[in-house]
Amino acid sequence: MTTVGTAVDSYLRHVAVERGLAVNTVAAYRRDLGLYTAWLAVDSPDDPPRPITDLRSVTRRHISSFVQHLGLRAEAPLTAASIARVLSTVRGFHRFLLDEGLVEADVAHDTKPPKLALRLPKAISIEQVSALLAATDGDDVQRLRDKALLELLYATGARVSEVVNLNVDDVLVEVFDSVRLTGKGDKQRIVPVGSFARAAVSDYLVRARPMLSARGRSTPALFLGLRGQRVSRQNAWLIIRAAAERAGLTVPVSPHTLRHSFATHLLAGGADVRVVQELLGHSSVATTQIYTLVTIDTLRDMYTTAHPRAR
- Whether 259 sits among the annotated catalytic residues: the reply is yes
Cβ-based neighbours of 196, under 8 Å, separated by 6 or more: 133, 151, 155
- Whether 291 sits among the annotated catalytic residues: the reply is yes
- Whether 109 sits among the annotated catalytic residues: the reply is no
Q: Which of 50, 94, 147, 282 is catalytic?
A: 282
Q: Which of 259, 265, 303, 311 is catalytic?
A: 259
- Whether 11 sits among the annotated catalytic residues: the reply is no
- Whether 311 sits among the annotated catalytic residues: the reply is no
Q: Which of 143, 184, 189, 241 is catalytic?
A: 184
The number of residues in the chain equals 311
Q: Which of 30, 122, 241, 256 is catalytic?
A: 256
- Whether 159 sits among the annotated catalytic residues: the reply is yes
Cβ-based neighbours of 199, under 8 Å, separated by 6 or more: none
Q: Beta partners for 179?
A: 191
Q: Which of 62, 159, 209, 260 is catalytic?
A: 159
- Residues with a catalytic annotation lie at 159, 184, 256, 259, 282, 291
